[in-house]
């Protein structure tokens, strides 16, 4: 493999001679394709979107609400709503146009290479299964990717955001619910091996948990929204993706927690050798961590 370019280079022309882009979006146009799509060809939701993301970069795609940032992210991950579709242009991942992929290839791409963390990701956790059971399922799907990450076992590089002392078990109905769910989990199996347990603890430490054992034994309804988001982040990282797309990861956060999330992404970029595409309306905040900041206009075009 060629030498990885220095993070933060601003001269993309010079970088192009060193390494090809991991992601290249070319003349992308997205329009309504379902019912009520008449006239969509003359008025697409976004048009002529062009940008590249190079290996190891953090690139921010910014712009006002409704300009098509999230549509672009969903198109890259093959997760557009059935009512819309790509009507022009190409999306090249690792040199291959991925738009023509059939669903099986899209699933494999999302399973092995591209991870998308969206604002509605919390619905991806099953409320009546422990974090341990759900992460173990993810490990089984990505077993061949596990060995590399296990080298990081036991390290806790990030300052924790939560401590065990700050967590309390709910009483009453919550306690009875936990007993019932624990029994159901035992009957269904789902135990982890010592190696899996150590790896899961390592992953959870990487995303900022001081007491990963507590998190593993918890149910999503016992965790805050921010904690559930970091559990999902750990699940996505367990697959060893090359490209990580975060859609509005700092929305509704105060300045302190926003900075924590952005610092976490910077650290994860180094720990997991990620290429990161950030989707956000917060250009100023993104400029603090991104190597490049791109902007879309309200009409769904790239800012010159």
Distances (CA, A) of 266 to 9, 105, 255, 274, 292: 16, 29, 17, 9, 14
Strand partners, 60: 278, 293
| Residue-level pLDDT at 172 | 52
Higher pLDDT, 23 or 4: 23
**Contact call for residues 52 and 84 (beta carbons, < 8 A):** no
User: What's the rounded mean pLDDT across residues 242-252?
Assistant: 88
Token pair belonging to 131: 């974090």
Percent of the chain clearing pLDDT 70 (strictly above):
72
- Give the model's confidence band at 160: pLDDT under 50 very low, under 70 low, under 90 confident, else very high: very low
Q: Is the dihedral of CA 37, 38, 41, 45 positive or negative?
A: negative
Token digits of residue 299: 């009409």
Q: Is the pLDDT of residue 84 over 80?
A: yes
Q: Are 12 and 52 in contact (CB under 8 A)?
A: yes
DSSP readout, 140-154? Answer: HHTGGGHHHHHTTTT
Q: How many CA atoms lie within 13 A of 253 on its CB side?
A: 19
Task: Tell me what the pLDDT averaged over the chain comes to.
Answer: 79
For 48-77, what is the mean pLDDT? 95
Cα–Cα distance for residue pair 40/31, rounded to 1 Å = 6
Distance between CA 213 and CA 198 in Å, rounded? 10
For the chain, the C-alpha Rg in angstroms (whole number) is 20
Handedness of CA 5, 7, 11, 13 (dihedral sign): positive
Q: How far, in Å, CA of 298 to CA of 113, rounded?
A: 30
Q: Give the number of C-alpha atoms closer than 13 A to the C-alpha of residue 3, restricted to the C-beta side.
A: 6
Q: Which of helix, strand or coil describes residue 22? A: coil
Q: Is the pLDDT of residue 162 over 90?
A: no
SS3 99: coil
Residue 103 burial (10 A CB sphere; 0-12, 13-18, 19+) = exposed
- What distance lies between CA 102 and its chain's CA centroid? 22
Half-sphere exposure (CA, 13 Å, Cβ side) for 244? 27
Q: What is the pTM of this model?
A: 0.76
Rounding to the nearest 10 degrees, give the CA dihedral for residues 10, 262, 269, 301: -50
Residue 261 — pLDDT band, cuts 50, 70, 90? confident
């Amino acid at each position: 493999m060629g030498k990885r370019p220095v993070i933060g280079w601003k001269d993309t022309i010079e970088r192009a001679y060193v390494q090809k882009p991991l992601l290249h979006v070319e003349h992308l146009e997205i329009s309504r394709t379902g019912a009520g799509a008449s006239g969509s060809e003359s008025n697409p939701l976004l048009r002529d979107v062009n940008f590249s993301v190079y290996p190891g970069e953090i690139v921010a795609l910014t712009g006002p609400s409704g300009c098509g940032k999230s549509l672009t992210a969903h198109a890259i991950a093959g997760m557009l709503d059935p009512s819309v579709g790509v009507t022009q242009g190409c999306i090249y991942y690792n040199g291959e146009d991925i738009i023509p992929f059939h669903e099986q290839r899209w699933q494999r791409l999302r399973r092995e290479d591209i991870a998308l963390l969206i604002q509605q990701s919390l619905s991806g956790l099953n409320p009546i299964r422990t974090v341990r059971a759900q992460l173990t399922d993810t490990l089984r799907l990505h077993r061949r990717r596990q060995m590399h990450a296990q080298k990081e076992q036991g390290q806790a590089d990030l300052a924790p955001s939560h401590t065990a002392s700050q967590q309390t078990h709910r009483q009453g109905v919550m306690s009875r619910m936990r007993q019932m769910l624990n029994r159901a989990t035992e009957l269904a199996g789902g135990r982890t091996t010592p190696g899996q347990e150590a790896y899961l603890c390592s992953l959870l430490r990487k995303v900022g948990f001081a007491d990963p054992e507590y998190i593993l034994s918890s149910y999503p309804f016992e965790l805050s929204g921010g904690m559930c988001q970091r559990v999902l982040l750990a699940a996505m990282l367990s697959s060893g993706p090359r490209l990580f797309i975060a859609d509005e990861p700092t929305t509704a956060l105060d300045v302190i927690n926003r900075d924590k999330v952005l610092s976490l992404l910077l650290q994860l970029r180094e720990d997991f050798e990620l290429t990161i595409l950030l989707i956000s309306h917060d250009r100023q905040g993104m400029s603090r961590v991104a190597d490049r900041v791109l902007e879309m206009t309200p009409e769904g075009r790239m800012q010159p």
